[in-house]
Structure 1
Amino acid sequence: MSHTQESQNTLDGILNAISKCKVQHNQLLKEQQDLSRARDDQEDLAKQFRQRIVKLRISLEEDDNNQARDVDSERKKIAALHDEESRLKREIQRAEEELQLEEESTHHLKQQTNVSTAAVPEKKVVFTGVTGDGANTLNFDVKPHIVFPMEEGTALITFEDEEVAQKILSLREHKVDLGEDCAITLEAKLVQLLVPCQVEMDTEVCSRRILVSNLPKKVREDLLLDKLEIHFAKSKNGGGEVEDSDMLHDSGNVVITFTENNIAKGLTDKQYHNVEFEKGRKHSVKVTPFLNGDITSFQTRLSACGRTVLLTGIPAVKEQENLQDLLEIHFQKTSNGGGEVDTFLYNPLGQHTLALFEEDCPTEDQSQ
């Protein structure tokens, strides 16, 4: 009995021990789970810190880069300011030099303008009874002479009436009957020329030349030049050694060139000089300064010829004079859209012709 009791006691002890071990095991499992959760939390926290460290490092690098860029930008700005300062100093220096040149030029122009307003070539004028609009008056009247190279197989026809020319242009193609069952088709084109619209010149009084005007009309040119050279070569007449003399045929005046620079001014200051062209007879001539000119600005524009039409595509089917007459007759007929022809110029195949265009001056019944 005691042995059974002892065994029972031993079994209960073992069960108790097992229960205690289970409790301890459960506690250990719980502690292990708690430790595992704590470990995971620590790892998450460490991961967050590592990510934060990476972000902070990137942010610091960006800040460093931005700071470096800002410093570089400021340095560039400072360098640009230094360059701008240097440029402005150069501009100031250049402006001062230009100002000095302008002052010298102004002084030179003032000297040029000291030439008497009366110092212009002598020219006979007369009122013809024609009046004009003062609002359109220009300081200089330029009359262009434009050379127009004609292509082969073309013709230029100028009508008296601009409306006729415009009608011919509007019809464009024209069939011209040349007789003997022969006809040709021509094309009418607008004539456009490049004409000057504004010319600017710098003028300067020449120190070695004079312009002599109011010359006698009945003296031969060679004798006239000889007499002028002889007169103005004498020191008693205020002259000096003459290098050359030239007749300006468009104005009838003479240009005399001296070898020295100090002769011309004294002669132009006196203006009027009595020159002996015939023995015992003297003629009063006017001496004015000779102006040298340089073109500083030349502007052009396209100008359409209102009364002139270009005819193209003309074959060499007849003799030049015969074909020109037939073409002119065709365009004179109102039934062909034509009218009165002012001029007609034909350039056949194989030839080269230069047409000269001049200003179409308006009349009372016709505007330019």
Structure 2
Amino acid sequence: MSFEDLSFVTVDAHGSQNILEGIITAISKCKVQHNQLLKEQQDLSRARDEQVDLAEQYRQRTVKLRTSLEEDKCDQARDVDSERKKMAALHEEESRLKREIQRAEEELQLEEESTHQLKQQTDVSTAAVPEKKVVFTGMTGDGANALNFDVKPHIVYPMEEGTALITFEEELVAQKILSLREHKVDLGGDCAITLEAKLIQLLVPCQVEMDTEVCSRRVLVSNLPKVAEDRLLDKLEIHFAKRKNGGGEVEESDMLHDSGNVVITFTENNVAKGLTDKQYHDVEFEKGRKHSVKVTPFLNGEITSFQTRLSACGRTVLLTGIPAIMEQENLQDLLEIHFQKTSNGGGEVDAFLYNPMGQHTLALFKEDCPTEDQSQ
């Protein structure tokens, strides 16, 4: 209801009553409308507060989600970096393993080549050794299958001036002379000299290792007849120089006098293998008569390891401090006689060598044997 609706009019009492009731009714309606507006205002305020709370909740959730996403992103970056490092480590390990495999394959190839070479040497080792008649003497020992070479030492010992080497038949005598150390030798009259007995230690080979290979141009010929050396070499050269006999141009032939075998050297590399594959060859040394010779590979050797050790001479003693006071032969006889006497601690002398002042003498030491001298 607007104010324009109110106008001052003159009405009677009954009309005034109606107007008042209308006003009251209008006021009541206004109160109702006002209350409704207040209620709507409260509802709107409450709805606004709820929206503000909801917005705050959404904001907090958004912050949490953003923080969580950033953390997840950082974790993912760390995981990616860790996986990248793992992949790099795996690639590096793979490369290392490939290198080791390649190195192992190269070593295996070298081993196979070495094994093949050793097998080749093993295949020819039996054939390469000339046949010899042997007999069992009753001796036994370990390592029956080992490939060993018995080397008898021949050691050259340079003697100092004014010294002597004396070898006794018994080792106990030599040890007694060494234990006494100083020996006074009476040379006759009032003349005497004092000598010192010393132990002799020599460097002797204890282990020798050799690498061997089959020579491509040489062969070893064994099982030869009893023929003069010149004739034997001529007949062998003539036979093995002919192509029809599987041979070729001969460069030289050498007789090995210690074994009675012959080494033939060809100018070409492919001749030796064909002859050794056949092994036995009939050679005419006399007209109308042939003799079967054995042709085997010739092995070249190179020393790869040589070890020595000190070895004490059990029966030989070094005498030092011998002055040049008389003739060599006379002094040597007197010294030998002195050390033969048991009263002087000596015994039977096997060998004696005196090197006077002003001379240079080389003594040859051989393998100790009861029937042979140890020093010369």
TM-score normalised by length of structure 2: 0.68
Deviation, 1:209, is: 0.6
| Counterpart check, 1:248 vs 2:253 | no
Would you say the 8 A contact 1:121–1:287 is kept in 2?
no
| Counterpart check, 1:97 vs 2:93 | no
Q: What residue number does 1:199 align with?
A: 208
Q: What residue number does 1:186 align with?
A: 195
| Counterpart check, 1:310 vs 2:310 | no
Residue 205 of structure 2 aligns with an amino acid whose one-letter code is: P
CA distance in 1, matches of 2:319, 2:206: 27
Q: What residue number does 1:135 align with?
A: 142
CA distance in 1, matches of 2:364, 2:96: 53
Instruction: Choose from 144, 157, 160 the match for 1:148.
Output: 157
Deviation, 1:231, is: 1.8
SS where residue 124 of structure 2 aligns? Answer: coil
CA distance in 2, matches of 1:111, 1:237: 24
CA distance in 1, matches of 2:360, 2:349: 23
| Counterpart check, 1:338 vs 2:335 | no
Q: Which moved more, 1:135-144 or 1:168-177?
A: 135-144
Would you say the 8 A contact 2:152–2:366 is kept in 1?
yes
Deviation, 1:118, is: 4.0
| Counterpart check, 1:265 vs 2:273 | yes
Residue 329 of structure 1 aligns with an amino acid whose one-letter code is: I
Q: Which moved more, 1:284-293 or 1:301-310?
A: 284-293
Q: What residue number does 1:290 align with?
A: 298
Q: How has the CA–CA distance of structure 1 residues 153 and 262 changed in structure 2, closer, same or farther, with 3 Å as cutoff?
A: same
Q: Percent of counterpart pairs with the same letter?
A: 90
Q: How has the CA–CA distance of structure 1 residues 118 and 104 changed in structure 2, closer, same or farther, with 3 Å as cutoff?
A: closer
Would you say the 8 A contact 1:276–1:283 is kept in 2?
yes
CA distance in 2, matches of 1:351, 1:99: 60
| Counterpart check, 1:114 vs 2:130 | no
Deviation, 1:214, is: 2.5
Q: How has the CA–CA distance of structure 1 residues 155 and 255 changed in structure 2, closer, same or farther, with 3 Å as cutoff?
A: same
Q: What residue number does 2:239 align with?
A: 231
Would you say the 8 A contact 1:153–1:348 is kept in 2?
yes
CA distance in 2, matches of 1:111, 1:101: 15
CA distance in 2, matches of 1:348, 1:356: 17
Q: How has the CA–CA distance of structure 1 residues 89 and 304 changed in structure 2, closer, same or farther, with 3 Å as cutoff?
A: farther
CA offsets 1:224-248 (integer angstroms, 9 cap, x no match): 2222212211222221111111122
CA distance in 2, matches of 1:87, 1:336: 77
Q: What residue number does 1:366 align with?
A: none
Q: How many residues align?
A: 280
Q: How has the CA–CA distance of structure 1 residues 157 and 116 changed in structure 2, closer, same or farther, with 3 Å as cutoff?
A: closer
Residue segments in structure 1 that go unaligned for 5+ positions in a row: 1-80, 364-368
Would you say the 8 A contact 2:128–2:298 is kept in 1?
no
Deviation, 1:307, is: 0.7
CA offsets 1:125-180 (integer angstroms, 9 cap, x no match): 455xx421323756321211111111111111111100011011111111111224
Q: What residue number does 1:216 align with?
A: 225
Q: What residue number does 2:285 align with?
A: 277
Decide which structure has the larger Cα Rg and report it: 2
SS where residue 115 of structure 1 aligns? Answer: helix
Would you say the 8 A contact 1:265–1:289 is kept in 2?
yes
CA offsets 1:10-35 (integer angstroms, 9 cap, x no match): xxxxxxxxxxxxxxxxxxxxxxxxxx
RMSD: 2.7
SS where residue 308 of structure 2 aligns? Answer: strand
CA distance in 2, matches of 1:340, 1:136: 38
Q: How has the CA–CA distance of structure 1 residues 157 and 136 changed in structure 2, closer, same or farther, with 3 Å as cutoff?
A: farther
CA distance in 2, matches of 1:315, 1:167: 24
Would you say the 8 A contact 2:163–2:320 is kept in 1?
yes
Residue 121 of structure 1 aligns with an amino acid whose one-letter code is: P
CA distance in 2, matches of 1:323, 1:231: 62
Q: How has the CA–CA distance of structure 1 residues 152 and 282 changed in structure 2, closer, same or farther, with 3 Å as cutoff?
A: farther
SS where residue 258 of structure 2 aligns? Answer: coil
CA distance in 2, matches of 1:248, 1:103: 34
| Counterpart check, 1:352 vs 2:357 | no
Residue segments in structure 2 that go unaligned for 5+ positions in a row: 1-88, 372-376
Q: How has the CA–CA distance of structure 1 residues 119 and 335 changed in structure 2, closer, same or farther, with 3 Å as cutoff?
A: same
